[in-house]
Amino acid sequence: MGTHRIVSCLAFLLLVGLSLTGATYTPLKPTKSFETSFQVKQPPTLPFEAVQSVVDFPVGGFVARHTHGGPLYAVMTKGSITLWIDGEPERTYYEGESLEEPYRNVSSAGNLGTKPASLLANYLIPVGAQLTVFEPAAPSAAPTSSPPPPGPSSRFQSRMRLDSAPEHYMVRLFLLTYEPSAWMVPERVVVPRLLTVVSGEVTLFSSAGEKKYKAGECWIERPGELSLVSGNLGSEKAVVAVSVVPT
């Protein structure tokens, strides 16, 4: 067994042992950022999926008029975007601000700023529904030889199926930053959680061994389970997107 794996196993046993015995030692923990909650006013029909993504808008990036298969909840993590929703005034959202796109409302969005923009998004859509449907171009639109503006890009689309939900519930979003040697100790899961690595690498430990998760890879934690020990064994920080639904 290699030295690295021995250290990993010892770390796993130490953290689990301390959590079970109630010892007061506290490891370096991941830090939360951009935490925000939304009341779900238009719950999707059951069963549904929570679809999590980080969406990047380049400078001048624009997404044409569209609808989603369910409500969209998001928080700006970098830069700004301007959102146009039918029946609502134009609004620009900046880093740290949260936004919603209601179900069935036609909207468009663009980065009118001077820096790239990113947002952490969570869609709630019925199983089998399309995530995004674009409006057809108007027949009277004049042809142009200019290339279209660049569109946004999704770094990943992670999905968590939900077969039940309370009558009234919320969605909570945030980022977890694991500095090198940061650890999350086990805890009892009370609400479903979808976690995706945005950057870096996170190692999860269980009685069956360890598994490394890289950017774009996800795992799900279900109520009643004990969450796994997770840590950053690398030399660079790792960032994980977390969606908690329903809460």
| pTM > 0.85 | yes
The share of the chain scoring above pLDDT 90, in percent, equals 78
- Provide the strand spans (E) within the chain: 31-39, 48-57, 62-68, 72-78, 80-85, 91-94, 98-101, 107-110, 117-126, 132-134, 153-154, 158-162, 170-178, 183-184, 193-199, 201-206, 209-214, 218-221, 229-231, 238-244
Query: CATH assignment of 42-162?
Result: 2.60.120.10
Cβ contact 243:124 at 8 Å: no
pLDDT per residue over 161-198, tens digit each? Answer: 999 999 999 999 999 999 999 999 888 999 999 999 99
Confidence at residue 161, expressed as pLDDT on a 0 to 100 scale:
98
Nearest by Cα to 184 from 4, 24, 11, 3? 11
Domain 3-33+168-244 matching CATH 2.60.120.10: the answer reads: yes
Confidence at residue 14, expressed as pLDDT on a 0 to 100 scale:
53
Confidence at residue 26, expressed as pLDDT on a 0 to 100 scale:
65
Confidence at residue 190, expressed as pLDDT on a 0 to 100 scale:
94
pLDDT per residue over 73-85, tens digit each? Answer: 999 999 999 999 9
Query: 42-162: same fold as 3-33+168-244?
Result: yes
Confidence at residue 9, expressed as pLDDT on a 0 to 100 scale:
47
pLDDT per residue over 100-157, tens digit each? Answer: 999 999 999 999 999 999 999 999 999 999 999 999 976 655 666 667 789 999 999 9
Band the pLDDT of 206: cuts 50, 70, 90.
Answer: confident
Confidence at residue 194, expressed as pLDDT on a 0 to 100 scale:
98
Confidence at residue 228, expressed as pLDDT on a 0 to 100 scale:
85
Confidence at residue 32, expressed as pLDDT on a 0 to 100 scale:
98
Cβ contact 197:30 at 8 Å: no
CA–CA distance from 17 to each of 21, 117, 127, 153, 206 (Å)? Answer: 6, 42, 40, 43, 13
Q: How many H helices and E strands in the chain?
A: 1, 20
Domain residue extents for the chain: 3-33+168-244, 42-162
124/37 Cα distance (integer angstroms)? 14
Confidence at residue 8, expressed as pLDDT on a 0 to 100 scale:
46
pLDDT per residue over 113-125, tens digit each? Answer: 999 999 999 999 9
Other residues' Cβ atoms within 10 Å of the Cβ of residue 206: 13
pLDDT per residue over 1-12, tens digit each? Answer: 444 444 444 455
pLDDT exceeds 90 at position 203? yes
